[in-house]
Amino acid sequence: MADTLRHLLELALDPAAAPAAIAGAPLPHSMRAAVVRRADAEMFRDRPSEEKDPRESLHVEEVPIPPLGPNEVLIAPMASALNFNTVWTSIFEPVPTHRFLERFAAESAAGARHDLDHHVVGSDAAGVVVRVGPGVTRWRPGDRVTVHCNYVDVEGPHGHDDSMIDDRQRIWGFETNFGALAELSMVKANQLMPMPTHLSWEEAACLSLTLATSYRMLVGRNAARMKQGDIVLVWGATGGLGGFAVQLVRNGGGIPVCVVSSEEKVALLRSLGVDLVIDRAAEGYEFWADGEQQPSEWRRFGSRIRELTGGEDPDIVFEHPGRQTFGASVFVVRRGGTVVTCASTSGYMHSYDNRYLWMNLKRVVGSHFANYREAWEANRLVDRGMIHPILTRTYALDAVADAAWAMHTNAHTGKLGVLVNASEEGQGVRDPDKRARFSDDLRAWSRLR
């Protein structure tokens, strides 16, 4: 780390330092960041998706410091986390993300700053504010923050009920440049939230993207709106989205039916008090095989769910695997129930039997990340110890491509953290007494290894 950056961080993390002193400390001329390069966009053209390797395309290198504009904030991420969008960016699927930056540039001069040959990725961070731009009134240098990834101005009319509906809404560090996997990162002031005081940097950094997405899908007023007693089928129940979905369902008085793919994951969920678990690998489901849906497999799966629930079908299916599971999800959800979907990991061209949807008055609801309020409410649940991080492993910034490969090959569980400016795990906790009160839960969820 350069001396200028070290000095800036020492000052920003000193609770006695005045915001003006932090704002006056010099910035370094460049920074280390995880990037994909525009010139590499075609490098995997002839390979199947599963062989496209982020370790060849995701580089940690020295890049210029992002320029700060109105209502923007420069933060120093102490830690970040890996999300699947960084896997998509680094395998250039479904499109190279430089296309998003080019589209942003065509929109405005502010957007044009983002269209560079390198794309700094990363959509989750916990860190400290080091500069605020003109017009920022709620945040000051020295504030310790977590960052959600909904990047939007709401200058147009459509986003005023729900900023996710705004036609210029973007995901920070995926559809914008200057993401979280860098020594300094540029965000909008309306992305900031107070960092939970009992968590370390890496624990706080692994929350927002997947937790707030799950919160909107299940709890917020914009998607499935789970109620007490609802049976919720959760695909990938120890993954980034699923691990938070299970906690939200239990907090809200719902009944999770969890699907995972190994004995270890089943045992882990059982140890957390989750009884209704299906091991999709051991039970050998093939809902979509040889390019075709397999309705007999949907029926076998539906029977298994009824066996676990005492004959009931799920009120809600929490869907993200996509093509391989979507037909089964539509089939098993109860009459009048909701399939809520935010992704298509196994392929985005879905097919399902529409007769089951219309005749049984089922709904499919699309959901995407979360608006500021939903992200804030999810962050508040963490701060109150009602939701816990599911961090299973932490990587150094230099090894971020290894983390992306682990996620791409489904070799991970829970969330993967990345230390950016923090020198080791465990730093950043401000309220050890509060942490002690939640220590059993924190240990239980971080056992997701």
Ligand X SMILES: NC(=O)c1ccc[n+]([C@@H]2O[C@H](COP(=O)([O-])OP(=O)(O)OC[C@H]3O[C@@H](n4cnc5c(N)ncnc54)[C@H](OP(=O)(O)O)[C@@H]3O)[C@@H](O)[C@H]2O)c1
The site for ligand X, by CB under 6 A, has a size of: 30
Helices 372-383, 208-218: inter-axial angle, 10-degree rounding: 110
Number of residue whose CB is nearest ligand X = 239
Single residue of 28, 236, 337, 417 touching ligand X by CB under 6 A: 236
Q: Which is nearer to ligand X, 9 or 171 (CB)?
A: 171
Single residue of 410, 424, 440, 443 touching ligand X by CB under 6 A: 410
Report the C-alpha gap between 243 and 249 in whole angstroms.
10
Residue with tokens 């996620």: 407
Strand-strand pairing, 144-147 and 192-194: antiparallel
CB atoms within 10 A of CB 311: 8
Q: Which is nearer to ligand X, 90 or 261 (CB)?
A: 261
Q: Contact letters (x/-) for ligand X, 276-295, by CB under 6 A?
A: ----x---------------
* Residue 304 in contact with ligand X, rule: CB under 6 A: no
* Residue 392 in contact with ligand X, rule: CB under 6 A: no
Write the DSSP string, 293-347. E-HHHHHHHHHHHHHHHTSPPPSEEEE-S-TTTHHHHHHHSPTT-EEEE---TT-
* Residue 400 in contact with ligand X, rule: CB under 6 A: no
Residue with tokens 């629930």: 309
Single residue of 254, 314, 321, 337 touching ligand X by CB under 6 A: 321
* Residue 407 in contact with ligand X, rule: CB under 6 A: yes
Report the C-alpha gap between 30 and 247 in whole angstroms.
40
* Residue 25 in contact with ligand X, rule: CB under 6 A: no
Helices 400-408, 84-91: inter-axial angle, 10-degree rounding: 100
Q: Helix (H) and strand (E) counts for the chain?
A: 17, 20
Single residue of 73, 241, 266, 274 touching ligand X by CB under 6 A: 241
Tokens (6 digits) for 339: 């399939």
Q: Give the three-state DSSP class for 93.
A: coil
Single residue of 84, 172, 201, 301 touching ligand X by CB under 6 A: 84
Q: How far is the CB of 445 from ligand X (least distance, A)?
A: 14
The amino acid present at 109, given as its one-letter code, is: A
Q: Where are the alpha helices (DSSP H) in 67-181?
A: 84-91, 98-107, 109-112
Single residue of 320, 350, 388, 393 touching ligand X by CB under 6 A: 320
CB atoms within 10 A of CB 166: 20
Q: How far is the CB of 406 from ligand X (least distance, A)?
A: 9
* Residue 239 in contact with ligand X, rule: CB under 6 A: yes
* Residue 73 in contact with ligand X, rule: CB under 6 A: no
Q: Contact letters (x/-) for ligand X, 242-261, by CB under 6 A?
A: x----------------xxx
Report the C-alpha gap between 54 and 187 in whole angstroms.
25
* Residue 389 in contact with ligand X, rule: CB under 6 A: no
For the chain, the residue count is: 449
Tokens (6 digits) for 115: 């269209």
Q: Which is nearer to ligand X, 200 or 344 (CB)?
A: 344
Q: Which is nearer to ligand X, 141 or 321 (CB)?
A: 321
Is residue 103 exposed (0-12), middle (13-18) or buried (19+ Cβ within 10 Å)? Answer: middle
Strand-pairing partners, residue 33, are: 61, 182
* Residue 265 in contact with ligand X, rule: CB under 6 A: yes
Q: How far is the CB of 381 from ligand X (least distance, A)?
A: 17
* Residue 369 in contact with ligand X, rule: CB under 6 A: yes
* Residue 339 in contact with ligand X, rule: CB under 6 A: no
Strand-strand pairing, 415-419 and 30-37: unpaired
Residue 181 backbone dihedrals phi, psi, to 5 degrees: -85, 60
Q: Contact letters (x/-) for ligand X, 125-164, by CB under 6 A?
A: ----------------------------------------
* Residue 342 in contact with ligand X, rule: CB under 6 A: yes
* Residue 210 in contact with ligand X, rule: CB under 6 A: yes
The answer to whether the CB of 307 falls within 8 A of the CB of 333 is no
Single residue of 57, 80, 85, 185 touching ligand X by CB under 6 A: 85
* Residue 235 in contact with ligand X, rule: CB under 6 A: yes
The residues binding ligand X (CB under 6 A) are 83-85, 209-210, 213, 235-236, 238-242, 259-261, 265, 280, 320-321, 324-325, 342-343, 345-346, 368-369, 407, 410
